[in-house]
């Protein structure tokens, strides 16, 4: 498995800016737009993800609404496989399955198309091998719900990948799949 060098990791991290108190007081928002508009940083990241996941024999990449779409679609294209959006409730036009997850106050819900990974989530009679990706894991609620969705339609969540992990929040503990974070802070 190809490891990312310390220099490359630090370079990617330095391309992500932190906006204090967005969207509300106390949140240190990790803004990946400054990674995306830096072609060297984006390419360094995508080269690494491509090298890592070439070895996984994946059938699909699933990206979480909305920043997971950017990394997920770019990676799926590099790997020559399909991309599946995991969307917030009410955005997908065909038949969906959904999963709720708790927020600080109330709950939210994510959905995928029931046939997103083929009929019954199968590729040539085996569960489709799916990589789930998002820009960041904080409490882990969103990714846990999204990975449950993949299983619900009969596919297999082979790994959950995040560009950034906020380690102190221990979000990975609630996820029932292997986890890879490019950078943990």
Q: How many residues bind ligand AMP (CB under 6 A)?
A: 17
Query: DSSP string covering the chain, please?
Result: -PPPPHHHHHHHHHTSEEEET-SSTT-EEEETHHHHT-HHHHHHHHHHHHHHHGGG--SEEEEETTHHHHHHHHHHHHHT-EEEEEEETT---S-EEEEEEE-SSSEEEEEEETTTTSGGGEETTEEPEEEEEEEEESSSHHHHHHHHHHHHTT-EEEEEEEEEE-GGG-GGGG-SS-EEEEEE-
28 binds ligand AMP (CB under 6 A): yes
Q: Which is nearer to ligand AMP, 15 or 59 (CB)?
A: 15
Task: Please list every residue from 164 through 183 that binds ligand AMP, using CB under 6 A.
Answer: 171
| Under 8 Å between Cβ of 153 and 112 | yes
Q: In angstroms, what is the minimal distance from the CB of 139 to ligand AMP?
A: 3
Q: In angstroms, what is the minimal distance from the CB of 162 to ligand AMP?
A: 8
Q: In angstroms, what is the minimal distance from the CB of 134 to ligand AMP?
A: 5
Q: Which of 15, 30, 63, 150 binds ligand AMP (CB under 6 A)?
A: 30
Q: Find residue 183's DSSP bridge partners.
A: 164
Task: Please list every residue from 50 through 69 that binds ligand AMP, using CB under 6 A.
Answer: 64, 67
104 catalytic, yes or no? yes
67 catalytic, yes or no? yes
Q: Which of 6, 7, 55, 104 is catalytic?
A: 104
Task: Please list every residue from 113 through 142 that binds ligand AMP, using CB under 6 A.
Answer: 134-142
Q: Which of 52, 67, 87, 129 is catalytic?
A: 67
Q: Which is nearer to ligand AMP, 22 or 56 (CB)?
A: 22
Spatial separation of the C-alpha atoms in residues 84 and 82, rounded to whole Å: 7
Active-site residues: which are they? 67, 104
Which residues form the interface with ligand AMP (CB under 6 A)? 27-30, 64, 67, 134-143, 171
């Amino acid at each position: 498995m190809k490891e990312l060098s310390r220099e490359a990791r630090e370079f990617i991290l330095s391309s992500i800016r932190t906006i204090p108190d967005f969207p509300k007081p106390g949140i240190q928002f990790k803004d990946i737009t400054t990674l995306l508009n830096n072609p060297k940083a984006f390419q360094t990241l995508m080269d690494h993800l491509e090298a890592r996941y070439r070895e996984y024999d994946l059938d699909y990449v699933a990206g979480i609404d909305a920043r997971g779409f950017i990394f997920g679609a770019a990676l799926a294209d590099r790997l020559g496989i399909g991309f599946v959006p995991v969307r917030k409730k009410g955005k997908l036009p065909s038949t969906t399955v959904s999963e709720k997850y708790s927020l600080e106050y109330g709950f939210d819900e994510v959905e995928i198309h029931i046939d997103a990974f083929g009929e019954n989530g199968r590729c040539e009679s085996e569960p489709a091998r799916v990589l789930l990706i998002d820009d960041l894991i904080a409490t882990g609620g969103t990714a846990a719900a999204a990975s449950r969705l993949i299983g619900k339609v009969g596919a297999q969540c082979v790994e959950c990948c995040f560009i950034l992990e906020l380690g102190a929040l221990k979000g990975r503990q609630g996820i029932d799949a292997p986890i890879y974070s490019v950078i943990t802070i």
